[in-house]
Structure 1
Amino acid sequence: MINDYPHVVGYNFVDTGEETFAEIEMQFPATTPKFLMLNLAEEAVRATVIREITGIASAFVNKPRFENDTALVLGTAGCNIRGIWEASLVPLDEFATIDAPGQSQEWVDINHLSTNDIAAVLRNYGVEAARMAIVQEVSSVFGAYEIGVDKRHLSLVADYMTFEGGFKPFNRVGLSSSPSPFGKMSFESTCTFLCEAAVNGDFDDLRSPSARIVMGQPVRSGTGSFDVLMDLSVSTAA
């Protein structure tokens, strides 16, 4: 740091037990005009990068996941799953306190990586992992407000968003690919979908539950999947 940045004359790492930080000492001539220390600090940090992963701007320590959890949980601003895979094994000879060249140490548990970037999960782990990520993210949003949502409902939403092999939003844009005009109209943008169906000559076979409810017909599932007939003929005594 001292060699790369001319105004830095010394630095010191401080560990208070609760937090760890670095103190950097700088010297400037008395004739130096007024300047912003933040810009100088950022420039000095960029000039002394020790290790970085493309796509991750910063990292911070999260709270433990459980009450007695002693593992260090890191959060990042940005996502690069493959970059973390490649950097997860660090050669031990990079550490001055360890003299074991040729060996490596796993500093990130790649089996517990998680991200809210559904597209990144889909690219690196596949559609089933993306489906579970959707369930977890939606569940965590409601969980922050202590709202319980049945997992079967979330699974149904995630299935609809990923059944085509990719993922699509659960809104009018995602529903635009549905073959049921009445089903799309029952969600939102009723007039828009109605006009599109009329112009394109679409028809609805009333197979979806939403379309049948719109038309006042029972849904073809559960008790609506069959009919119960009763013999109304009255038998006469012989």
Structure 2
Amino acid sequence: MYISCDAVRAKYHLLDTNKLQSVLQSSAVVKDYKFDTKKEEWCEVTLQFNILDSKIDLPSLIDLDIRKAVVHEVPGVTRCFLSTQKNGEVHLKTEGINILEVYKYSDFLDISRLYSNDIHAMAERYGIEAAGRVIIKEVQNVFGAYGIDVDYRHLSLLADYMTFEGSYKPFNRVAMETCSSPLQQMSFETTMHFLVNASIHGSHDSLKSPSAQLVTGRLVTCGTGSFELMNRITV
């Protein structure tokens, strides 16, 4: 296969021309643009303003445009910064998450300690059990900020209920749509909505859920109510 050098040069010249035109058309104040066509190590932009205009804060304008310019980016991550912990460790924190991209830097990042509060991302990449642990940790952090210590068993019960179907579901009336107990649905929110739906579809409640048992005045069959006591009778 043979490619003419003139054809290659013409191709690169066309790319440079398109790049120049793109920059010149990006703003009315850009009048000229020069750049390093060989190593791409520098560029020079000429801006033109009306001298009759008020004072121009050029540093602010440049700073504004610099923030829009992308030198290198990771899709899904908007900002990143280093944080030094009390034990001297340096943690890389980001706004946004791209787990697959982080894997590429395993030579100097400890991937085994990667953590994100994006529950959906953790569930998708590490499984629903990992998502449950994230829920527990995040709820602990919220209460911990106010000095409130919540028993781990309560948090684990909450996380299990939000993930036991194999997917992460919220703790609201939308998630209650998947509940099989109409009485439990009605005891949560929007009682009339769930009552009407149960009536239309002829739903049956087996009274196995604690909420349904409480509504009907029954003993909850969990904890101390999960068994019966039998007295020994002497005849």
TM range (shorter): 0.7 to 0.9
Q: After the TM superposition, which residues 30-45 of structure 1 pair with which residues of structure 2 at under 5 Å, given as runs?
A: 31=51, 34=56, 37-45=59-67
Cα distance in 1 for residues equivalent to 2:186 and 2:70: 57
More helix by share: 2
Distance verdict in 2 for CA 1:5–1:174, change over 3 Å: farther
Structure 1 partner of 2:6:
none
Cα distance in 1 for residues equivalent to 2:231 and 2:63: 85
Structure 1 partner of 2:202:
201
Cα distance in 2 for residues equivalent to 1:193 and 1:39: 57
- Structure 2 residue runs of 5 or longer lacking an equivalent are 1-39
Cα distance in 1 for residues equivalent to 2:94 and 2:210: 42
SS at match of 1:152: helix
Tell me if structure 2 keeps the 8 A contact 1:176–1:184: yes
Cα distance in 2 for residues equivalent to 1:194 and 1:171: 17
2:43 partner amino acid: D
Structure 2 partner of 1:3:
42
Instruction: Using the TM superposition, give the Cα deviation of residue 207 of structure 1 relative to its aligned residue in structure 2, in angstroms.
Output: 0.3
Instruction: Using the TM superposition, give the Cα deviation of residue 230 of structure 1 relative to its aligned residue in structure 2, in angstroms.
Output: 4.7
Q: After the TM superposition, which residues 93-108 of structure 1 pair with which residues of structure 2 at under 5 Å, given as runs?
A: 106-108=107-109
Cα distance in 1 for residues equivalent to 2:49 and 2:179: 70
SS at match of 1:6: strand
Aligned length: 194
Instruction: Using the TM superposition, give the Cα deviation of residue 130 of structure 1 relative to its aligned residue in structure 2, in angstroms.
Output: 0.9
Show CA shifts across 1:102-159 (max 9, x none). xxxx232212211111111011111111111111111111111111111111111111
Distance verdict in 2 for CA 1:222–1:2, change over 3 Å: closer
Q: After the TM superposition, which residues 11-30 of structure 1 pair with which residues of structure 2 at under 5 Å, given as runs?
A: none
More divergent stretch after superposition (149-158 vs 220-229): 220-229
Are 1:85 and 2:103 an aligned pair? yes
SS at match of 1:62: strand
Structure 2 partner of 1:22:
none
SS at match of 1:186: helix
Cα distance in 2 for residues equivalent to 1:46 and 1:211: 56
Are 1:53 and 2:53 an aligned pair? no
2:100 partner amino acid: R
- Structure 1 residue runs of 5 or longer lacking an equivalent are 8-26, 90-105
1:40 partner amino acid: I
Distance verdict in 2 for CA 1:39–1:151, change over 3 Å: farther
SS at match of 1:193: helix
Cα distance in 1 for residues equivalent to 2:136 and 2:183: 27
Show CA shifts across 1:61-95 (max 9, x none). 3352xx3x212122211111111112x15xxxxxx
Distance verdict in 2 for CA 1:194–1:48, change over 3 Å: closer
Are 1:73 and 2:91 an aligned pair? yes
Q: After the TM superposition, which residues 160-171 of structure 1 pair with which residues of structure 2 at under 5 Å, given as runs?
A: 160-171=161-172
Among the aligned pairs, what percent are the same residue? 40
2:181 partner amino acid: S
1:60 partner amino acid: F
SS at match of 1:172: coil
CA RMSD of aligned residues (A): 2.8
Cα distance in 1 for residues equivalent to 2:130 and 2:109: 20
SS at match of 1:107: coil
| TM-score of the superposed pair, with normalisation by structure 2 | 0.72
Distance verdict in 2 for CA 1:82–1:199, change over 3 Å: same
Tell me if structure 2 keeps the 8 A contact 1:53–1:84: no
